[in-house]
């Protein structure tokens, strides 16, 4: 089973953190079972997934399984003939048994059937293992491709993480299990019919009694399998919280604070609390299941005993041979096994489809087609927010309301405001990560909604406040900003070129990162971070310079800086701001910052409050206006005065 790494620490930002508890969502007390129509649809979809993953191995597994279905009856009949012949030979009737040659022929037939079964089984196992590997890879890619096409807002909803964790949990054996159980159903029918035909000769009640003996165990398995599914489904949220608590205890970036405040016992106690909550549900379930299993086994033993008495009565009357009795004794196992396979196959398919519904629920989440719309061509010359509003789904509360401002090529625009004013949300709208719920965003005078998000984003480069710290090489960390990365191309990233690797070094030089990246043991090929062997950890300020290099690596016409100097010391901040002024050039630059040393370089400053524009103008104009901006500026400046 594939589990994405828990990611509470900044060094692991990137893939979704399945362990993060997020906002507490109500968990249904009882998960509803899907209807018959849904299950039939899921069955066909699952079989399609299996076939598409590897048609050759799917066909081979099916053919080999159906061929193997005839071997049990053939083996039983060969054994019966051999035992009858041996019985005659041991009583001095070798000629009646067909002679020694006939005995050897029957033995060879029995051994040959066993050998053929072993050969077919070996090929079946090979096909099943390779098919399972292909299937796991294919489904994992489907989950990852779905995740990257979900709207960004969904990653701020805990239910999305529940669905994602449930989907990952079903990547393993369940889809393959559905195929093998479907095959096993047909295989069981063939084997049961052929073995049953042989056993029917032993008496009219023998086969029905043996078949009935298989039903109690299958009933118990089906009933408690469904209960187990509902228990795990209800526990999804608790399992993520428990995983999160465990990841906090093992996080390299949190270990200092955990140790200094000494709240390990509290976290461990919370972790154990969730386990005991699960245990309280597990224990009665296991106890009831085992009690019912015992009753089912006793009932089955009674039914098999009645069938055996009937056969013994016929043997006592001389109506059957020793070989016939051996056929019965060995056939009981085959008939019970195959009939159980038949019944439990139906039950097993039902149970597996319950779990696989988790996978399909995630794959069926509505996604945004980032390539839908016209393709944007050329640089972005102007940006205008025209009465833009935005609210998160299901909240009904506007985060932004009536937001209007503009900026053109060669200008720098700064967004200023207290935490929660809506600055980062405005940036997410500008970069098409979010879509406005009201108003328009105009690029070069054209409605951005006309164009595909990806084509517009290709003209943008950004550093977020919570920038990614990727546990990859220094070269990769910078070159991930290339269009080759967006196209899935490895060449630009792995060589760091466009121009023989110089573009990576040039971007790192612009951000100030080259000064320390070039001195690493392996230079730009050195792994960054502590997650993998040989990796070198950077300071917070150094990571921020690497993120800035990634921004500069993309030759974009619009640059967005979200707190670009937050992790830098005073000297590095001065250098970075100077470079930022220098690099802005003929591009559009948008800045979010609480540091007025950075903000004041902007040509236009927009002050936000409560999701609205409070005031706007240049640094000098806003100071002269003596409004909110001036108050914030003087408050920060007072910290540097005597």
CA distance 268 to 606: 47
Per residue in 233-264, pLDDT tens?
788 788 888 888 888 887 766 766 777 677 78
The closest of 554, 558, 581 to 379, measured between CA atoms, is 558
In sequence order, what are the residues at sequence separation of 6 or more whose Cβ sits closer than 8 angstroms to the Cβ of residue 152? 428, 433, 434
The three-class DSSP label of residue 32 is coil
- What is the pLDDT at residue 561? 85
DSSP state, residue 523: G
The three-class DSSP label of residue 412 is strand
Residue 340 phi, psi (nearest 5): -60, -40
CA distance 30 to 642: 64
- What is the pLDDT at residue 339? 72
- What is the pLDDT at residue 55? 92
- What is the pLDDT at residue 231? 83
CA distance 642 to 638: 8
- What is the pLDDT at residue 26? 37
The closest of 453, 489, 462, 482 to 375, measured between CA atoms, is 453
Number of neighbouring beta carbons within 10 Å of residue 231: 14
Residues in the chain: 642
- What is the pLDDT at residue 617? 92
DSSP state, residue 19: T
Query: Which strand ranges, in their side-by-side order, compose the sheet holding 612-617?
Result: 460-463, 558-562, 588-592, 412-416, 604-609, 612-617
CATH fold of the domain at 55-363: ABC transporter transmembrane region fold (1.20.1560)
Residue 45 phi, psi (nearest 5): -65, -40
DSSP state, residue 527: B
CA distance 329 to 332: 6
Cβ pair 11, 530 in contact under 8 A: yes
Per residue in 587-626, pLDDT tens?
898 988 888 877 887 889 999 988 899 999 999 999 999 9
- Averaged pLDDT in 10-residue chunks for the chain of 642 residues: 37 38 38 72 88 91 89 81 74 69 81 90 91 88 83 73 74 80 84 73 70 74 77 81 83 70 83 89 88 84 75 69 69 70 74 82 80 90 94 76 91 88 89 90 94 90 85 90 56 44 87 91 90 86 89 88 72 68 77 82 89 91 90 80 56
The closest of 338, 16, 306, 370 to 161, measured between CA atoms, is 16
The closest of 117, 159, 119 to 26, measured between CA atoms, is 159
Cβ pair 557, 379 in contact under 8 A: yes
CA distance 68 to 410: 75
**DSSP-derived secondary structure for 304-315:** HHHHHHHHHHHH
CA distance 606 to 411: 13
CA distance 527 to 386: 44
CB-neighbour burial class of residue 145 (10 A; exposed 0-12, middle 13-18, buried 19+): exposed
CA distance 573 to 58: 60
- What is the pLDDT at residue 14? 36
Write down the domain spans for the chain.
Answer: 55-363
CA distance 459 to 400: 24
CA distance 568 to 300: 74
Tokens, residue 105: 């022929």
DSSP state, residue 321: -
- What is the pLDDT at residue 351? 78
- What is the pLDDT at residue 443? 95
Packing angle of the helix pair 502-511, 570-584 (nearest 10 deg): 120
Query: Which strand ranges, in their side-by-side order, compose the sheet holding 438-443?
Result: 398-408, 382-391, 438-443, 446-447
């Amino acid at each position: 089973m594939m589990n994405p790494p828990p990611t509470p620490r900044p060094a692991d930002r990137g893939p979704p953190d399945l362990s993060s508890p997020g906002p507490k969502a109500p968990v249904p007390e009882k998960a509803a079972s899907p209807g018959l129509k849904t299950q039939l649809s899921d069955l066909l979809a699952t079989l399609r997934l299996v076939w598409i993953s590897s048609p050759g191995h799917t066909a081979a597994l099916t053919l080999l399984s159906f061929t193997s279905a005839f071997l049990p009856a053939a083996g039983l009949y060969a054994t019966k003939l051999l035992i009858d012949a041996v019985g005659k030979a041991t009583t001095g009737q070798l000629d009646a048994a067909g002679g020694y040659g006939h005995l050897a022929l029957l033995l060879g037939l029995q051994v040959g059937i066993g050998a053929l079964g072993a050969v077919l089984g070996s090929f079946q196992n090979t096909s099943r293992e390779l098919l399972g590997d292909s299937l796991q890879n294919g489904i994992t890619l489907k989950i990852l491709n779905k995740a990257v096409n979900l709207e960004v807002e969904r990653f701020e909803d805990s239910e999305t993480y529940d669905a994602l964790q449930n989907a990952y949990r079903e990547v393993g054996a369940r889809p393959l299990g559905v195929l093998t159980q479907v095959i096993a159903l047909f295989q069981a029918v063939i084997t049961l019919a052929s073995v049953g035909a042989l056993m029917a000769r032993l008496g009219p009640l023998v086969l029905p009694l043996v078949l009935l003996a298989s039903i109690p165990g299958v009933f118990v398995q089906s009933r408690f399998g469904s209960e187990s599914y509902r228990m795990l489904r209800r526990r999804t949220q608790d399992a993520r919280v428990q995983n999160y608590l465990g990841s906090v205890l093992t996080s390299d970036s949190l270990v200092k604070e955990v140790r200094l405040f000494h709240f390990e016992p509290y976290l461990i106690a919370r972790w154990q609390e969730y386990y005991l909550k699960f245990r309280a549900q597990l224990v009665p379930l296991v106890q009831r299941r085992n009690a019912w299993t015992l009753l089912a086994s006793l009932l089955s033993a009674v039914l098999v005993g009645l069938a055996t008495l009937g056969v013994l009565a016929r043997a006592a009357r001389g109506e059957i041979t020793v070989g016939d009795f051996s056929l019965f004794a060995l056939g009981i196992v085959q008939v019970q096994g195959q009939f159980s396979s038949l019944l439990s196959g139906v039950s097993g398919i039902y149970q597996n489809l319950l779990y696989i519904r988790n996978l399909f629920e995630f794959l069926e989440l509505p996604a945004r087609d980032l390539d839908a719309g016209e393709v944007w061509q050329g640089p972005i010359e102007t940006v205008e927010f025209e009465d833009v509003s935005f609210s998160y789904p299901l909240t009904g509360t506007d985060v932004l309301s009536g937001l209007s401002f503009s900026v053109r090529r060669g200008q720098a625009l700064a967004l200023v405001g207290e935490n929660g004013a809506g600055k980062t949300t405005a940036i997410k709208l500008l970069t098409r990560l979010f879509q406005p719920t009201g108003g328009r965003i105009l690029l070069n005078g054209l409605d951005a909604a006309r164009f595909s998000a990806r084509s517009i984003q290709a003209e943008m480069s950004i550093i977020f406040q919570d920038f990614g710290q990727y546990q990859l090489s220094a070269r990769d960390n910078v070159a991930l900003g290339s269009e080759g990365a967006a196209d899935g191309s490895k060449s630009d990233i792995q060589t760091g070129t466009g121009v023989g690797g110089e573009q990576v070094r040039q971007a790192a030089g612009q951000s100030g990162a080259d000064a320390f990246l070039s001195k690493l043991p392996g230079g730009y090929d050195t792994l960054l971070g502590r997650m993998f062997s040989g990796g070198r950890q950077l300071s917070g300020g150094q990571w921020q310079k690497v993120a800035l290099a990634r921004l500069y690596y993309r030759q974009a016409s619009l640059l967005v800086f979200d707190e670009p100097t937050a992790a830098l010391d005073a000297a590095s901040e001065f250098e970075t701001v100077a470079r930022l002024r220098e690099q802005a050039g003929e591009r559009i630059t948008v800045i979010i910052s609480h540091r007025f040393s950075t903000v004041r370089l902007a040509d236009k400053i927009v002050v936000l409050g409560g999701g609205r524009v409070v005031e706007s103008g240049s640094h000098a104009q806003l100071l002269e206006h003596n409004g909110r901006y001036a108050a914030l500026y003087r408050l920060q400046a007072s910290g540097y005065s005597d």
